[in-house]
Structure 1
Amino acid sequence: MVSFATYLFNPSYHLKMAHYLLLWFLASSYLHTSVNSCIDEERRALLTFKEDVTDPSGRLSSWVGLDCCQWKGISCNNITGRVEMMNLQNAYMYTLSAFDGDWDEMEYSSLGGKVNPSLLSLKHLNYLDLSKNDFRGISIPEFFGQIKSLRYLNLSSASFGGEIPPHLGNLPNLNYLDLGEESDYSLLELPSENLNWLSRLSSLKYLNLKGLDLSNTGVNWLNVVNMLPFLVELHLSSCQIQSLPPPGNISLASLLILDVSFNDLKFPFPEWFFNLTNLRKLDLRGNSLSGPFPIEFESLKSLEHLDLSFNSLKGQVPKLRGSFCNLKILNLAQNQFDGGIQELLGGLSSCPNSVLESLDLSSNMLNSQLPASLGMLRNLKFLTLYNNNMNGSIPESLGQLSQLVHLDLSFNPWEGFLTESHFINLTRLKYFAVGRVDPNPILPIPLTFKVSYDWVPPFMLHKINIGYCKVGPAFGVWLQSQTKLLFVKLRATGISDSIPEDWFLKISSQAQYLDLSYNQIHGKLPLQLKFSYALILDLSHNQFHGPLPLWSGDNVVRFKLEMNSFSGPIPWNLDQKFPKLESLYLAENHLNGTIPPSICNMRNLLVLSLRSNQLSGEFPREWSLLPDILILDAAYNNLSGKLPSSMGALGSLFLLKMNNNNLEGEIPLSLENCTSLRNIDLGDNKFTGKIPSWIGLNAPFVSILRLRSNFLSGHIPQELCNLENLHILDLALNRFSGTIPKCLNNVTALKLWNPLHIGLQ
Structure 2
Amino acid sequence: MDFSFEINSMSNLTMLFLLLSLFASSPLGIIKLSSCSEVHTKVKCIHTEREALLSFKKGLTDPSGRLSSWVSEDCCQWRGIECNNKSFHVTKLDLRNAFKLFTYVDDSKTTRYCNSCLGGKNLIYLDLSYASFSGRIPPHLGNLSSLIHLDLKVDNGYIPPNLDRSSVFSPNFLDDFSRLSSRNMDWLSSLSSLKYLDMTGVNFSGVGADWLQAVNKLPSLLELHLYSCDLESLPLSLPFVNFTSLSVLDLSGNQFNSSIPQWLFNLTSLTKLDLRGNALQGTIPYDFVNLRNIEDLDLSGNHKICGQLPSFFGIFCKLKTLDLSGNNFSGSSIDSFLGKIPDSLGRLGSLTSLFLYYNFFSGSIPSSIGNLSSLQQFSLNENEMNGTIPESLGQLSKLVNLQLDMNSWEGVITEAHLMNLTRLEGFAVTIDKNQSLIFNVTYDWVPPFKLKYLEIESCLIGSKFPIWLQVQSELTEVTLRNVGISGAIPEDWFSKISSQLTHLDLSKNQISGKFPQHLVFPNVTYFDLSYNRFEGPIPLCFKNVAQLYLESNLFSSPIPSNIGDLMPKLQILDLSKNHLFGTIPLSITKIEGLEILSLGKNQLSGELPHHWNDLQFLMVVEVAYNNLSGKIPNSMGFLISLEVLVLSNNNLYGEIPSSLRNCSLWSIDLGGNYLSGNLPSWIGSHVLMLCLRSNLFSGIIPRQWCNLPSLHILDLAQNNLCGGIPDCLDNLTALIYGYNNSYFGNHLTGEIPNELSRLIELGTVNLSINHLTGNIPQNIGNLRLLETLDLSKNNLSGPIPKSLSSLTFLAHLNLSFNNLVGKIPSGNQLQTLNDASIYKGNPSLCGSPLPIKCPGDETFDGPTISSGSVDNKQDGDDYERLWFYVSIGLGFVVGFWSVCCTLLVKKSWRHWYFQFCDDIKDRISLIIALKVLQLDDLPEGIMNMDIHQ
The answer to whether TM tops 0.5 is: yes
In the alignment, is residue 404 of structure 1 matched against residue 403 of structure 2?
no
SS at match of 1:374: helix
SS at match of 1:575: helix
d(CA) in 2 for partners of 1:417 and 1:759?
60
- Deviation by residue 1:5-41 (Cα, 9 ceiling, x = unmatched): xxxxxxxxxxxxxxxxxxxxxxxxxxxxxxxxxxxx9
- What's the offset of the Cα at 1:168? 3.5
- What's the offset of the Cα at 1:532? 4.3
SS at match of 1:470: coil
Question: Any residues of structure 2 matched to 1:663-702 within 5 Å, and which?
Answer: 663-674=652-663, 676-695=664-683, 699-702=684-687
**1:128 corresponds to which residue?**
95
Give 1:266's match in structure 2, choosing from 248, 254, 258. Answer: 258
Give 1:236's match in structure 2, choosing from 223, 226, 229. Answer: 226
**1:729 corresponds to which residue?**
714
**2:274 corresponds to which residue?**
283
Whichever residue aligns with residue 323 of structure 2, its letter is N
| Residues 521 and 723 of structure 1, relative CA distance in 2, 3 Å threshold | same
Give 1:484's match in structure 2, choosing from 474, 477, 486. Answer: 474
**1:615 corresponds to which residue?**
604
8 Å Cα contact 1:83/1:125 also seen in 2: no
Whichever residue aligns with residue 155 of structure 1, its letter is S
**1:153 corresponds to which residue?**
127
In the alignment, is residue 429 of structure 1 matched against residue 419 of structure 2?
no
8 Å Cα contact 1:636/1:660 also seen in 2: yes
Whichever residue aligns with residue 266 of structure 1, its letter is S
d(CA) in 2 for partners of 1:503 and 1:651?
43
8 Å Cα contact 1:636/1:661 also seen in 2: yes
d(CA) in 2 for partners of 1:590 and 1:46?
74
SS at match of 2:741: coil
Question: Any residues of structure 2 matched to 1:248-259 within 5 Å, and which?
Answer: 248-259=239-250
- What's the offset of the Cα at 1:428? 1.0
**2:940 corresponds to which residue?**
none
> For the pair shown, which has the larger CA radius of gyration, 1 or 2?
2
**1:705 corresponds to which residue?**
690
| Residues 585 and 42 of structure 1, relative CA distance in 2, 3 Å threshold | farther
d(CA) in 1 for partners of 2:371 and 2:496?
37
**1:106 corresponds to which residue?**
none
| Residues 241 and 755 of structure 1, relative CA distance in 2, 3 Å threshold | closer
| Residues 488 and 406 of structure 1, relative CA distance in 2, 3 Å threshold | same
Question: Any residues of structure 2 matched to 1:301-340 within 5 Å, and which?
Answer: 301-311=292-302, 312-320=304-312, 323-338=315-330
Whichever residue aligns with residue 410 of structure 2, its letter is E
Whichever residue aligns with residue 670 of structure 2, its letter is L
8 Å Cα contact 1:319/1:343 also seen in 2: no
d(CA) in 1 for partners of 2:79 and 2:410?
62
Whichever residue aligns with residue 496 of structure 1, its letter is S
| Residues 512 and 253 of structure 1, relative CA distance in 2, 3 Å threshold | same
d(CA) in 1 for partners of 2:314 and 2:457?
39
Whichever residue aligns with residue 468 of structure 1, its letter is S
Question: Any residues of structure 2 matched to 1:544-623 within 5 Å, and which?
Answer: 544-554=534-544, 556-623=545-612
Whichever residue aligns with residue 682 of structure 1, its letter is L
8 Å Cα contact 1:75/1:84 also seen in 2: no
d(CA) in 2 for partners of 1:690 and 1:260?
63
8 Å Cα contact 2:274/2:298 also seen in 1: yes
Decide which moves more: 586-595 or 331-340: 331-340
SS at match of 2:428: strand
Whichever residue aligns with residue 325 of structure 1, its letter is C
8 Å Cα contact 2:259/2:281 also seen in 1: yes
| Residues 648 and 369 of structure 1, relative CA distance in 2, 3 Å threshold | same
8 Å Cα contact 1:587/1:609 also seen in 2: yes
Whichever residue aligns with residue 699 of structure 2, its letter is G
SS at match of 1:568: coil
d(CA) in 2 for partners of 1:124 and 1:213?
27
**1:37 corresponds to which residue?**
none
8 Å Cα contact 2:208/2:233 also seen in 1: no
- What's the offset of the Cα at 1:736? 4.0
d(CA) in 2 for partners of 1:640 and 1:571?
20
SS at match of 1:274: helix
d(CA) in 2 for partners of 1:613 and 1:626?
23
- Deviation by residue 1:441-500 (Cα, 9 ceiling, x = unmatched): 5x4251011112211111112222221221232221211222222322222122113222
8 Å Cα contact 1:706/1:729 also seen in 2: yes
Aligned length: 657
Give 2:450's match in structure 1, choosing from 452, 455, 460. Answer: 460
8 Å Cα contact 1:219/1:245 also seen in 2: no
- What's the offset of the Cα at 1:589? 0.9
8 Å Cα contact 2:346/2:370 also seen in 1: no
- Deviation by residue 1:104-132 (Cα, 9 ceiling, x = unmatched): xxxxxxxxxxxxxxxxxx96874221189
| Residues 146 and 487 of structure 1, relative CA distance in 2, 3 Å threshold | farther
- What's the offset of the Cα at 1:381? 1.3
Whichever residue aligns with residue 621 of structure 1, its letter is H
- What's the offset of the Cα at 1:560? 1.0
d(CA) in 2 for partners of 1:174 and 1:562?
63
Decide which moves more: 515-524 or 209-218: 209-218
| Residues 530 and 127 of structure 1, relative CA distance in 2, 3 Å threshold | farther
In the alignment, is residue 521 of structure 1 matched against residue 511 of structure 2?
yes
- What's the offset of the Cα at 1:685? 2.2
- What's the offset of the Cα at 1:292? 3.2
d(CA) in 1 for partners of 2:235 and 2:317?
27
8 Å Cα contact 2:364/2:387 also seen in 1: yes
SS at match of 1:625: coil
| Residues 716 and 574 of structure 1, relative CA distance in 2, 3 Å threshold | same
d(CA) in 1 for partners of 2:351 and 2:147?
37
d(CA) in 2 for partners of 1:44 and 1:494?
74
**2:344 corresponds to which residue?**
347
Question: Any residues of structure 2 matched to 1:38-57 within 5 Å, and which?
Answer: 52-53=60-61
- What's the offset of the Cα at 1:743? 4.3
- What's the offset of the Cα at 1:758? 6.2
Question: Any residues of structure 2 matched to 1:131-142 within 5 Å, and which?
Answer: none
TM-score w.r.t. the length of structure 1 is 0.77
**2:153 corresponds to which residue?**
179
| Residues 200 and 130 of structure 1, relative CA distance in 2, 3 Å threshold | farther
- Deviation by residue 1:361-389 (Cα, 9 ceiling, x = unmatched): 22333222222222111111122222222
Decide which moves more: 655-664 or 316-325: 316-325
**1:93 corresponds to which residue?**
none
| Residues 296 and 186 of structure 1, relative CA distance in 2, 3 Å threshold | farther
| Residues 371 and 660 of structure 1, relative CA distance in 2, 3 Å threshold | same
8 Å Cα contact 1:340/1:368 also seen in 2: no
- What's the offset of the Cα at 1:304? 0.8
Whichever residue aligns with residue 347 of structure 1, its letter is S
Whichever residue aligns with residue 743 of structure 2, its letter is W
TM-score w.r.t. the length of structure 2 is 0.63
Pairwise CA RMSD: 3.8
Sequence identity percentage:
45
Whichever residue aligns with residue 516 of structure 2, its letter is P
| Residues 178 and 614 of structure 1, relative CA distance in 2, 3 Å threshold | same
